Amino acid sequence: MLAIRALEVRGVRNLQTQRLELGARFNVFFGENGQGKTNLLEAIYLVATSRSFRTNLLGEVVAHGAEAARVRASIADPRLGEGAPPREQSVSILGKRRAVTVDGKRPRTLASYALATPVVLFEPASLVLSQGPAGERRRLLDRVAVHVAARHGGGEALVHDAERYRRAHLQRRRALDAGADARTLASFERVMAEHGARIVRARREASEALAPLAVGAFQRIARTPLALDIAYAPRAPEDVDEFAARLHASRGEDQRRGTARVGPHLDDLALLLGGHPARQVASQGQHRAIVLALKSAELDTIRAAREVEPILLLDDVSSELDPTRNAALFELLDARVGQVVLTTTRPELIELSRSSESADRSVRRDFRVRAGVVEPT
């Protein structure tokens, strides 16, 4: 089972320097608001991915008055082989610089580092998946697509495609503003088309894997007769020549708009509840159920692609769920075999089955978080 066995934090937000031993299944971190529970999840996400889910400015992760932040984890991974020692991963932040290591060595790329330890995160901000604009839904598709591509060794290549597409899109926009000649524009458009078409193809494959799993999970969590429908809504073709031709035809309008009107930067994942856009008709509880279903599907899709159960991080997961939906959620989680790290202000809401807990008392470990100090209970 993929699991963080031990976690060391130093200089991370309000967390005190400490070392924690985590359980293989459910780890419940509870305490009042503002004590450091989310900071702890951020530290885990950071050591798994080299990124924060709360900020793009990693310097903000460093505690006030500290020169640097460091998170180190000992990670058991069944793919390493029977009897293999845990993998040691670390992320250090000093100013604007980030340093990552795996077993004391620098990884080939940051993408290879992030792919090594799959994690899936649910936090309150995740509600924008169903309530907000398309950007977060595109990021969901991209996270899944990278892991699906990694099954065939193409995960890092897809990350490269995204970066090349982003740069070519920016260069074309600047060239349009500068009145560049047709040959220059065509070269940028060709790069956009080649890399963009691969992104569209990868997102379509990710959506085809994700959608049916999310629909099924929603029915189990929401307990509603309303059907959830999910479909990828691309804004560019998968054919490179057609993609480039559309860019060529839209140069005038793109110059006026300041962005290309063709391309994966405009894609969406359409969510319909009872045949209507979910963002318009869903209740707050239904939105939360939709997002949890998408996260459950993200977990299942990545597991199938990578042949390992991702680590699941849940921040304040039970708030705004009624008792029936909360019980359905934990029934869903209890059936899984992977490591779960969750936070709550009310640990009594974490309802694992009695049969599961009585069969193995190590299924759940509780930790109190108070003023940045984490103590097992």
Alpha helices in 154-181, H assignment, sequence order? 155-177
Name the token pair of 206. Answer: 């990710």
> What angle separates helix 284-306 from helix 323-334, to the nearest 10 degrees?
0
Phi, psi of 238 (to 5 degrees): -85, -15
Q: How many C-beta neighbours within 10 Å does residue 114 have? A: 22
Tell me the pLDDT of the chain (377 aa) as tens digits: 999 999 999 999 999 999 999 999 999 999 999 999 999 999 999 999 999 999 999 999 999 999 999 999 999 999 999 889 999 999 999 988 999 999 999 999 999 999 999 999 988 888 899 999 999 999 999 999 999 999 989 999 999 999 999 999 999 999 999 999 999 999 999 999 999 999 999 999 999 999 999 999 999 888 889 999 999 999 999 999 999 999 999 999 999 999 999 999 999 999 999 999 999 999 988 998 899 899 999 999 999 999 999 999 999 876 666 677 677 777 777 777 799 999 998 888 777 754 444 345 468 899 999 999 999 99
Closest CA to 287 of 140, 121, 45, 125: 125
What homologous superfamily does CATH list for 128-307? RecF/RecN/SMC, N-terminal domain (1.20.1050.90)
Give ∠ CA 302-102-14 in degrees, rounded to 5.
85
Provide the residue ranges of all domains of the chain, joining segments of one domain with +. Answer: 1-118+309-377, 128-307
**pLDDT score recorded for residue 280:** 93
Closest CA to 121 of 41, 4, 14: 41
Mapped onto helix, strand or coil, the DSSP state of residue 371 is coil
Distances in whole angstroms, Cα of residue 206 to Cα of each of 9, 55, 140, 269, 303 = 34, 26, 9, 11, 13
What CATH code would you report for 1-118+309-377?
A: 3.40.50.300
Residue 182 host element (H or E): helix 182-222
Q: Report the predicted TM-score, pTM, of the whole model to 2 decimal places.
A: 0.90
In the block, tokens 């969750």 appear at 342
Query: For residue 4, what are the β-bridge partners?
Result: 75
